[in-house]
Structure 1
Amino acid sequence: MHPPLTVGVVCDYADEGWPSMDLAAELLDAGLRAHAPGFAPALLRPQMPRAFRRVLPGRAGLNADRLAARHLAYPRWLRRHARGIDLYHVADHSYAHLVHALPAERTVVTCHDLDAFRSLLDPAADPRPAWFRAMSNRLLTGLQRAAHVVCDSDAVHAELLSYGALPPERVSTVPLPAHPDFSAGPHPAADAEAVRLLGPAGGHVDLLHVGSTVARKRIPLLLKAFAELAPVVPAARLVRVGGALQPEQRRIATEHGISDRIVELPFLDRTTLAAVYRRASLVVYPSEREGFGLPLVEAMSCGAPILASDLTVFREVAGDAARYVARDDADGWAEALADEIDRLASPENRAETRDAVLRRAERFTLAAYAGSIAQIYDGVLA
């Protein structure tokens, strides 16, 4: 019996504060440990130096440290401290430049979307200054050097190949799984915490959005649609998990008189977030583009109904288990929200939807994910 091969899981700096990328690395680590006995993962994550934050206050210091740490300190750390490892897996494509500091022929990169490279692949759609393009080029050439690239979705896979960035035989699709903490069953402690955060269940019609407030999430569209819905559904609340609204988003909420009907929660631990999903009247996801949409998988695993933008990648993930909004305006979203709330008021429809999302969620297990990743590792090492 051969000992398991070591996989160095290259993680984002913790100081980045990017929960989705931290989760991607954690899922990889957990999946290999539980379901791939031939591989032993080791998380690689140095501490980010604090050189600039000592002299520059606030965001400026953090951003300066991020830039220097990503491109200078992290490659140097890998060369010194990450030797003797059989295989490497960079869990976040925005760290793909690290392939230059690793044995590329034994390095895999997960590509979650193409935003980090878009200024090079499609400069007309994403014009950027020369310094940014130079940094992106370092990322893209790192991705291109990797032995294999794993995409979360067929949509990202196809888009990457459409630019001719990589040969097809070096790219695969492996959908991210839901963490086992996301389930439809009760969790007394987490359910009690959800009550503490949101009050007793059943008193409101909670529309839940999980994620950041970056532009592609289209929070302003969601706020304006909710403002149209609010007078029609007096019990409706908008619950936001993932941090506070940005100043402009807060201005929109104030201008439309809905600030007192928005509940803002920080990023939550998984079991509490699962409890929040379970009690949601409707999970809403109005993004204009995504590489995958892990909140959809999490919501389905918890039995929650979903209303999402009509994106190819969302249909790839949720299929017929979700409802989709084709229109990209507040009126269209407000109408869809009202229709779905009315439809789900029927216990029969609610139960049917719950069954459908739980069946769909069975495609996104940790075991299936780890098995597919292990096959890719076998191919790389062969």
Structure 2
Amino acid sequence: MIRVGVSATSLNTPHLRGMGKYLLEMCSQARPEDGVAWTLFAQDARQRMHLPRHQQVVTDVFDHPGDRFALWEQVGLPRRIRRHGLDVLHWAENTMAWWQPCPAVVTIHDTLPWEMETTDRWQHWYWHTLMPAAFRRSAAVITISESSKRDILARWPALEPKLTVIPHGIEAAYFEPPQCALPAALSHALGGARYAVYLGGPMKRKRFDWAVQTLAAQPDPTLMLVACGFGADAREAARNALPHGLQGRVLFAEFLSDAELLALYRGAVAVLYPTLYEGFGFPAIEAQAAGTPVIFSPLGSLAELVGPLATLAPADDLAAWAAALHGAATLPLNARAEKASEARSWAQGFSWQQSWQKHQAVYLQVAQVSMSPRQPAAAR
């Protein structure tokens, strides 16, 4: 038995997002015979803790003076893990403590935090001095795409011997019959109209404005856009900023469950994903697995996600984006069905079970190196 702790603050939240989905799926894929005992650490007892399916796990949710980027992460959690007798601690959310009482694995999803400008001296020191020093002390580093690997090694070439690429997977529901419909309010607002989907929320690099311009350039004035990823305040601001002629054609979805998002994908003529950078672009795979064309620019990791239902358009060519959406909206049903079958087969290559097995191999390697000859993994 190997005892693995996970810094799991992204599971300690009302709604799961990318990192939380990654953690939940990875832990859920472990089988009893894999011999892993999980301890999940988080910070906020007031919030929900999402737990892996069919798994017996220990949760340790505790507070510590200071915010997550200071004392809880750098002092509180390292002190806390000593009472659990862990063999490995997995820092799964881009950061880790410099103090590492047991062998540590870190997942660096992307290098975006190091590309953001800040005038705060503490934040600059934290990201550009403390984190690289902590990464060098780690036993292993995981990242999620070849693109992220290149970005990481461009900054910290010394990490290469300990760096492993483990792509994310896709949920089994994408390969099963539909289990859920759109929320009633969203379905009513659409009124049977055809629609495209935008994913990414208000973040500037996700380019909601580009999706709106792509919609405005369509020859079909009845085509609508459903925008996902906006909080209440961001929805209101984005709605107010829409051109007058598009006020009734852009809908803002409230938070959707995974099943509702899948239903949204399946009913769309296309998914617009105009992001300029992703460590790993879930929507690019999810849309294709759902049988829906997806339009994006082959930047960074997205170049690794080109499947049968992907249409590539240059990031700065609005005419190409407009033509791609029009082509998807007018794609004959038989041609779409044929491509959808190919896309589902292609998407099955992104497996959470394979992702878990590769994580398990990293844990085993790290734990076995750290154990003394008198404490082999099989004897734990």
Task: Identify unmatched segments of 5+ residues in structure 1.
Answer: 51-64, 120-125
TM-score (norm 1): 0.81
Aligned length: 346
Q: Over the residues paired in the alignment, what is the CA RMSD in angstroms?
A: 2.8
1:241 has 2:238 as partner: no
| Structure 1 residue 88, shift from structure 2 partner | 1.2
Report the counterpart of residue 61 of structure 1 in structure 2.
none
| 8 Å Cα contact 1:194-1:275 kept in structure 2 | no
| Structure 1 residue 315, shift from structure 2 partner | 2.4
Corresponding residue SS for 1:288: coil
Q: In 2 relative to 1, CA 49–30 (structure 1 residues): closer, same or farther, beyond 3 Å?
A: closer
| Structure 1 residue 298, shift from structure 2 partner | 2.2
Corresponding residue SS for 1:257: helix
**For residues 298-313 of structure 1, what are the structure 2 equivalents within 5 Å?**
298-313=286-301
Report the counterpart of residue 370 of structure 1 in structure 2.
356
Report the counterpart of residue 56 of structure 1 in structure 2.
none
| 8 Å Cα contact 2:277-2:300 kept in structure 1 | no
Report the counterpart of residue 86 of structure 2 in structure 1.
85
| Structure 1 residue 208, shift from structure 2 partner | 1.0
| Structure 1 residue 241, shift from structure 2 partner | 1.9
Q: Which amino acid aligns with 2:357?
A: G
Aligned partners of 1:77 and 1:366: how far apart in 2?
31
Aligned partner of 2:337 among 351, 354, 368: 351
| 8 Å Cα contact 2:174-2:286 kept in structure 1 | yes
| 8 Å Cα contact 2:7-2:92 kept in structure 1 | yes
TM-score (norm 2): 0.82
Corresponding residue SS for 1:97: coil
Report the counterpart of residue 67 of structure 2 in structure 1.
68
Aligned partner of 1:153 among 145, 158, 164: 145
**For residues 7-46 of structure 1, what are the structure 2 equivalents within 5 Å?**
7-12=4-9, 14=12, 19-33=17-31, 37-46=34-43
Report the counterpart of residue 259 of structure 1 in structure 2.
247
Aligned partner of 2:194 among 181, 186, 205: 205
| 8 Å Cα contact 2:105-2:141 kept in structure 1 | yes
| 8 Å Cα contact 2:107-2:141 kept in structure 1 | yes
1:144 has 2:142 as partner: no
Q: Deviations over 1:36-92 (max 9, x none)?
A: 713232221122799xxxxxxxxxxxxxx9972331134443234323111111111
Aligned partners of 2:156 and 2:275: how far apart in 1?
26
Q: Deviations over 1:78-135 (max 9, x none)?
A: 2343231111111110xx233x24336x21111111011235xxxxxx4655333112
Task: Identify unmatched segments of 5+ residues in structure 2.
Answer: 48-63, 369-380
| 8 Å Cα contact 2:143-2:149 kept in structure 1 | yes
Aligned partner of 2:115 among 118, 121, 127: 118
1:216 has 2:205 as partner: yes
Q: Which amino acid aligns with 1:25?
A: L
Q: Which amino acid aligns with 2:334?
A: E
Report the counterpart of residue 278 of structure 2 in structure 1.
290
Aligned partners of 1:354 and 1:203: how far apart in 2?
22
Corresponding residue SS for 1:238: strand
| Structure 1 residue 264, shift from structure 2 partner | 0.9
Aligned partner of 2:169 among 169, 177, 181: 177
Q: In 2 relative to 1, CA 205–332 (structure 1 residues): closer, same or farther, beyond 3 Å?
A: same
Aligned partners of 1:247 and 1:203: how far apart in 2?
24
Aligned partners of 1:248 and 1:270: how far apart in 2?
25
Corresponding residue SS for 1:167: helix
Aligned partners of 1:273 and 1:67: how far apart in 2?
36
Corresponding residue SS for 1:88: strand
1:97 has 2:96 as partner: yes
| 8 Å Cα contact 1:221-1:329 kept in structure 2 | no
| 8 Å Cα contact 1:182-1:271 kept in structure 2 | no
Corresponding residue SS for 1:209: strand
| 8 Å Cα contact 1:184-1:302 kept in structure 2 | no
